[in-house]
Structure 1
Amino acid sequence: MHEDALKIGNYTLPNRLFLAPMAGVTDRPFRQLCRTLGAGMAVSEMITANKSLWASKKSLLRANHEGEPEPRSVQIAGADPQMMAEAARHNVDQGAHIIDINMGCPAKKVCNVMAGSALLQNEKLVADIVEAVVNAVNVPVTLKIRTGWDRHNRNGIRIAKLAENAGIQALAVHGRTREDAYKGEAEYDTIASIKAAISIPVIANGDIDSPEKAAQVLEYTGADGLMIGRAAQGNPWIFREIQHFLDHRELLPQPAHDEIRKVLIAHLHTLYDFYGEYSGVRMARKHIAWYSKGLRNGNAFRQQINLLEHSEQQLAYTEQFFAQLTEQDFIAA
């Protein structure tokens, strides 16, 4: 336990590092892997508040937390306060220890139904949703937002204050507006202003892709925690590396070539087990692509991997590719 550990409700997290919820990425196998490699908390993929979809295979897999360490945080998304309240209750009944409300997703299909970061345009609705969810469950509720709707409407501070007043226990802020999606630089000034305006924990998110950057963002924003998303894809070691740097102000050596290969192969096995052969092979493709990014002959390897239909072929070809690499190839990448 680190002395700078973070509390959400009654839960004391082992450290201040969060794996960001990412649809199609932060499934149970990836969450467990990142927790093993140093993430103090991993939030589930977004589950819709639309009740008719809860029994779908996709939603059931997203809600599967078997074997995960506590606290388990489930993210819900929707635009109707009563449906969101019901979704929160349903997920707590299914074993969620924390409910996270999504008002940060910029995806068009989410924003088109006025969910995700589209909600930031309507502060009254934000307040209604947050209050309905907080009142519906007896577990901590957290919220993920962006800095505003667009650069002319950065209302992150107002949203943060109303969230705090409604009983939200922690706030994650992606340092971009909805309009910015993932373009440009994350704006840490706004995160710092939000942190200064409220007293609940604030978790900074956006472009944190190295131990040095993590330390800079913590210092600059005064945030209580950090949330890492895209930089963990194919690099789950980033949590271990960031924590070591925050504790000792020195960089850990990169993971050895053999450790990368072993972790990737173990990750593939968990994907096949979790999704079954057909979907597991398909889900594995993007992870294999991320792990092999920048490596010698990586392009040709990825093209071939995407043609393979069976887990044994995928495993054998991945083993073969990583076995022929040298430590130098990983340093160069």
Structure 2
Amino acid sequence: MKNSHSASYAAAGVDVTAGYEAVKRIKPMVESTYIPGVMGTLGGFGGMFAPELAGMKKPVLVSGTDGVGTKLRLALLMNKHDTIGIDCVAMCVNDIICGGASPLFFLDYIACGKNDPVRIAEIVTGIAEGCRQSECALVGGETAEHPGVMPDEDYDVAGFSVGIVDEEQIIDGKRLSKGDVLIGLGSTGVHSNGFSLVRKVFDVEHADLTAPVAELDGKSLGETLLTPTRIYVKAVKALLKAGVDIHAISHITGGGFYENVPRMMTDGLTASIDLNAFPRLPIFDLIQKKGNIPERDMYNTFNMGIGMILALPAEQAEQALSLLQAAGERAYRIGEVVAGEEGVVLE
């Protein structure tokens, strides 16, 4: 690629040499995520991975794809780009683990108005960290310049991940039963959902994002909102390794409790959740107060402090809570599975 340069393409707004510089900067970060199974290195036309299938009767691949949404606008306003990649990975791998699958590898797609190798490297710093947190490999990606379509300073990030699970170990809610206990895993904040509403409530384009806010324990609004999405992969894997019989899992993303919890339920069963069983994070109180948002809308938009919910047998609840706390999670017994057709009841 030493001789690759097109003056005509550069005049049209795309500098291919900037792409080569970005690859040079991110290569060590990418390689830091490699796990057994990775084949080759950065620079090929396709990322290769050879999964370990020993002991599996019928391997099933589970895939997930997502982006970061308008949370990116906060990163641009704060000129902080080294954590947004964690959000991108989290939104994919947290979905995959809901099926009991271990993420194997991840690929990213970064679209930008103008390729700034330093900024691209900052973004990939977060992506690589997210992959390390979820024990999966970053095996490839794409950076595309879109001059004339996006402003020079703008960018968007999306990702794609693939995991694997033995068919008989799939978590799909089929064994869910009345009396199962619901364990909630604490979130780190807003995560990566509801930011169109957040941005409207705080008028972020004109707000002081760096000033300390008393209601946020002295943290700034920008710092609080940019806190990366919690990745729950290691915690769930620790439970499964210890033999905890997880019947269903829900990742609380866009749509909050009312949209996501029913997705883990089966016909005739409803999740009964005690809202006093877990702490509500200060950022949600501030959003509700500032935006004069009805209580139901809050729980139908945000995670409200719980990023993932697990359903498991009541006799394993204490073991699960102990293991989760040992894994560094804030975990709470937040309710149980009851008979009903509502899908979720918040009390």
Q: Which has the higher contact order (CA 8 A, sep 6+)?
A: 2
- Greater share of helix: 1
TM over 0.5: no
Larger Cα-atom Rg = 2
Q: What TM-score, normalized by structure 2, do the two folds share?
A: 0.25
- Greater share of strand: 2
Q: What TM-score, normalized by structure 1, do the two folds share?
A: 0.26
